[in-house]
Amino acid sequence: MNAHPSAVAESLLAFWAEAGVDAMLLDAPIDRIEAGKFVQPKPPEKKPLIAAARPVVNAGPDISASVAVAQALAAAAQDLDQLKAAIAAFDGCPLKFEGAAHQAVFARGAPDAPLLIIGEGPGAEEDQRGEPFVGRAGQLLDKMLAAAGLTGRVFITNTVFWRPPGNRAPTVTEQAVCAPFLERAIQLVNPKMLLLVGGPSAKSMLKREEGILALRGRWFEWKSSDEALEIPAMPTLHPAFLLRQPGAKKKAWSDLLTLTERLDRPHRPEG
């Protein structure tokens, strides 16, 4: 015999009470599985973006005007004294106004020297005295030149004529602005050979990317911008580097002896 529905309901309520259910929260049933499904939120409406300005690419300073002025001043110099004055009056090299330089430092040595030595730039003592290679590195260079029998046979200058801040190496831009003056100095002296002292000098004059340890002791041909002048050139280690690394003096001395031997040959060799 089936139980009365009311009795079944009472029995069920009693079971729920014992299980801890003491209140009905909703009148209508809810499908909890369906309600628990994740619903992807609707993406926000995209608004039209304002076109961003194209970024400006920094291509470096335009030095063409400064180079043109340097070329005109250099070409007008008929001797080394006029060239020195033109360099001192030139305002196109930023090194002149960066605070480290007090004056232009041009050159020292014999105006008809068979060997022209090119360093990178003046330091503190050179800036004070107005001559290149007069500090500790210059004194070492002079001793090496004397030992090789080259005293009085050299003309010494740099790739730039104003002291860089902190004695840093000159930049490619700074060297490019000063290049017309350096080339005119080479034309006026008309040496038999060039000795390029240090990496910045060798790279600038030879348009090479290798480091000085790869370039030193090798022969190259330096050419003027109009290719009318072609001179044998040898890179070597900078005396300042030799002061820091005395063990490298043997390499620099070997370079200098090789250059001197070629310089003193009766006739200029073809290779």
Dihedral (CA of 220, 231, 259, 212) sign: negative
Lowest mean pLDDT among 9-18, 114-123, 227-236: 9-18
Q: Pick from 227, 187, 231, 223: which is nearest to 77 by CA? A: 187
* pTM of the predicted protein model: 0.77
The neighbouring-strand residues paired with 196 are 118, 235
Q: What is the pLDDT of residues 234-263, one digit of tens each?
A: 999 999 999 999 999 999 999 999 999 999
Is residue 155 within 8 Å of residue 189, measured between CB atoms? yes
pLDDT at 188 over 50: yes
pLDDT at residue 266, as a whole number: 77
Mean pLDDT of 121-150: 97
